[in-house]
Amino acid sequence: MPVRHEFTGRHLLLTYSGCDPAVLCDPARLLDALRQAVAASGATLVESVSHEFTPAGFTAVLLLSESHASIHTFPEHSACFVDLFTCGVTCDHERFAEELQVALRPTTVERRLIQRDHPSSE
């Protein structure tokens, strides 16, 4: 019989405004900050892909064993969007957000946590 897992997840949506422009314009630093935040959450990094835009902007998506994390920067607005979606309940979304907030130094943080699940059927 196959192993049954609880069908549940949490999706954290963050909007950071008034971020440190030096960080938003440094793709290596951004990717490092995102990786550190993923590690702090307890999630497992599988692979990452990123892209730098001209004249400015950066997008990275980290594939996690638990699902994914992403960042999309808008240096011209000193802002970025960040998502963390994880299946299950073991990852610490608060630690993820705290790590990124330290790295990006936003003046304003908008956050939304969405619980996603489906009643299990027998």
Which pTM was predicted? 0.89
| 1, part of any domain | no
Q: What is the number of H-type helices and E-type strands within the chain?
A: 3, 6
pLDDT computed for residue 120 by the predictor = 58
| 122, part of any domain | no
| pLDDT tens-digit profile, the chain (122 residues) | 554 556 789 999 999 999 999 999 999 999 999 999 999 999 999 999 999 999 999 999 999 999 999 999 999 999 999 999 999 888 999 999 999 999 999 999 999 999 988 765 44
- Give the CA angle between residues 38, 40, 45 to the nearest 5°: 30
| 32, part of any domain | yes
Can you give the CATH number for the domain in which 43 is found? 3.60.90.10
| 29, part of any domain | yes
CB within 8 A of 67, min separation 6: which ones? 9, 85, 86, 87
| 9, part of any domain | no
| 101, part of any domain | yes
- Helix or strand run (H / E) with residue 45: strand 45-52
pLDDT computed for residue 121 by the predictor = 42
| 4, part of any domain | no
| 96, part of any domain | yes
Q: Catalytic amino acids?
A: 67, 72, 87
Strands 8-17 and 79-87: antiparallel
Give me the domain span that covers residue 53: 17-115
SS3 51: strand
Number of domains in the chain: 1
- Of the candidates 22, 27, 46, 19, which has an alpha carbon nearest to the alpha carbon of residue 100? 19
> HSE-up of 107 (CA within 13 Å, CB side)?
6
